[in-house]
Amino acid sequence: MSAEVILDRQQKLITWLAAHADILNGAVGASSQWEIDTIDSLKEALLRLDDENRLMDIGIVGRVKAGKSTLLNALVFNGESVLPQAATPMTAALTTLTYGDRFKATARFYSEADLANIEQAAAAYSDLLEKSLIEELRRTEGRAGLDPERRRELAERGARRALATQQPSLQASHEQWEKITASGLSLARLKEDKPLEADDVQGLAALLADYVAAEGRYMPVTKSVDIEMPVEALRGLRIIDTPGLNDPVASREARTHDLLKCCDVVFVVSPAAQFMSQEDLDVMARITAAEGIRELVLVASQVDNTLHGSEMQAQLHASLTGLRRELAGHAGKVLDKLKLSNPEVGDVFQSLVDKGEDAIIHSSGMCHSMSVEFDSVADWQGGRLTAWQNLKETYPDYFRDDNPGLSRTNLDQLANMAGLHEVVEQTRLAKARVLAARRQDLLDAKERKQVELLRELRRQLSLRRGEIGEAGLTELKKNKRGLERRKFNLTVALDDELMGIKTGFVNGLRKAMKEVIDGAYDAADSGVSRTVGTEKTTRRTESPGAFNWVARKLWDGGYREYEENNRTVLPAAVKSAVSAFASGLRTDLDSRATELQAKFGKRLFAELLQTARRQLDDELDIEAVYSSLKSIVNGVEFPPVSLRAPVLKASTMKLKGSEADTFLEQAQHAIETLRETAEAAVYEYVETVKRAIPKSVADDFIGHIQAQFDALQALMEDAEKTRATLTMMDAELEAMQ
């Protein structure tokens, strides 16, 4: 049934119930029982469902100079250089691209807290560099053939190289802080947001260059950029272009991670010539939490650079096929090895291994731009000219200056924009199917409730018609007297029963919620443990003795080497485990509470109904008892479970040794804090539930039945008019079915 039909029937039901409330007098129970929400709330639910899934999120991840910007420019802007290429991870702002009515963007600058963190990390790097330099100078002291200046130069180079490997995040912060201080910008005068607007894509690209280009005026202090453009390729999409590795800004790294985990498809861009290197694996650590990712695709970028070896065949298609097969085999081995060495990644990348060649798409942004601008082939220079000459030399039958049609066709084959667009479209269709199913589930649930309510309303009208008449009026007055006579005993019995059920429910709720917390805590503890690995590091110490001293001075000898096992951890994986603990705990607590509340409502109704029938014998109409109790039980409203999750800052860089230990301690503290918070929240929740359940139901029950009796008596005293009204009401309901 369509949304329009269900909305129309909902409105008719609401109007009908309001018009005949005096006749029904609560006979069908509370509206919440039948989910008779307003038309506006139902429309809002449908719109919210549509809006939550309105945009398809596409994530782009890859190391620096992997060709991400070139790929995006080709995919969205037909090869035009709207997004500048980043020279280092520090010059790459987090960028989001969406469709908009105008060409505009918002550049977001670092906050005071961000700048303080960068400065602090830069200072820590300087301290470590100085210590490493002193150690290196001491180690090479007295070495023959080196003047002091040259020895210091080599020592500093070695110290920087070692820190780049051991402390890449601190090194990134140091470089970033140098750029910030060299910019001469007054940081205090910068607001956190800077709106930009232009008349066309070229104008906006020129404005953006000041904020995201490597030499841009505000690049050193630009944290992220959100871009909107009336470009058809962006309609219905949000593209998230992520910074490179070792992001020195924790808040940006956290937002990057949160955006990526909710993407519908993530393109992992890796240069075909260095496909799936260690750098790529470190970048992919960002997506160890894949709770929202529907599709993961490996993009072998810059493929035109890899088609010129002696092992390549003369036919372009055969060379591409062989290359993809080779890349798929390499990726499978690398990912299998990654799972063994880093079990914390879990099965996130298993789909890539299972798909083999189908998980890899080759691409070349350079070839796309050459295809678009082939008319100016005679004017090409630099890298474009070199790439074109290489292709002509290796594949002369496929690339020719004098055959634009042939050349463009084969350049497009290498660019493979069609393959990328196909992945996006397939994911879009899959998402549309999921959205349509969720929307239909909501409509089906509403339709079922409407049908049940219509059936119950017609049943109640049938009972009312049977009660109309002199005999019915006599029986009604008898029931009213019986209710008054047994009022005291009924009150005591109902309230005693309520207290017993309430006590059992509250105690059971408290115990069940504690079990949920304990189980989630154990699972989180185990999840964090799985993120821990080990890595062997070779250390060396000076060997004692005069000979070893001489060896150190002359040829860098005189040392004893040994292996040391260090704990390692991928912070993103730990953060995912903690986040899963938080979100899972909140969901599980709410689910368990809802389950127990439903059982409580059923038991309370059944026990109170049995007690009422036992006290009243056959002196009271069972329908009146049933509807009154149902209305009271459904009127008990329980609060939702409220729980705030702790924030765990995390970079994507693998931590080792003491840094790994410190981070794991922080994660454990976050879990312990959440556990304590959850226990406090559960205590408050149970107390709120106790207050929500009334201390007495007898007065409401008796008052409800008496009101029904009074309304029914008024109807019976004008039997002819009542019968006509009931017949008309039933006809209206029948028309809605």
Task: Kindly report the pTM of this predicted structure.
Answer: 0.62
Q: What pLDDT score does 30 carry? A: 42
Q: Which among 612, 627, 632 has a CA at the least distance from the CA of 696?
A: 632
Residues 630-677 have pLDDT tens digits of 666 766 777 777 766 565 665 556 677 777 788 888 888 888 888 888
Q: What pLDDT score does 406 carry? A: 93
**Confidence band, pLDDT 50/70/90 cuts, at residue 702:** confident
Backbone φ and ψ for 181, nearest 5 degrees, come out as -70, -35
Per the model's pLDDT, the better-predicted residue between 713 and 286 turns out to be 713
Backbone φ and ψ for 564, nearest 5 degrees, come out as -130, 130
Query: Would you say 64 and 88 are in contact if contact means Cβ atoms under 8 Å apart?
Result: yes
Q: What pLDDT score does 38 carry? A: 65
Rounded CA separation 371/399 (Å): 11
Per the model's pLDDT, the better-predicted residue between 342 and 289 turns out to be 342
Element (H, E) at 404: helix 404-415
Rounded CA separation 726/355 (Å): 65
Average pLDDT value for the chain? 77
What is the 3-class SS of 475-499, one letter each residue?
Answer: HHHHHHHHHHHCHHHHHHHHHHHHH
Rounded CA separation 214/228 (Å): 22
464 Cα distance to chain centroid: 53
Q: Residue 179 corresponds to which tokens in the numbers above?
A: 């750029």
Q: Is 584 exposed, middle or buried (0-12, 13-18, 19+ CB in 10 A)?
A: middle
Rounded CA separation 222/196 (Å): 13
Residues 33-74 have pLDDT tens digits of 555 666 677 777 777 666 656 678 888 888 767 777 777 777
Q: Which among 384, 361, 362, 360 has a CA at the least distance from the CA of 374?
A: 384
Q: Which residue has the tokens 């499978």?
A: 332
Query: Would you say 15 and 7 are in contact if contact means Cβ atoms under 8 Å apart?
Result: no
Query: Would you say 699 and 609 are in contact if contact means Cβ atoms under 8 Å apart?
Result: no
CA distances from 644 to 252, 413, 528, 595, 674 (A): 21, 51, 20, 22, 8
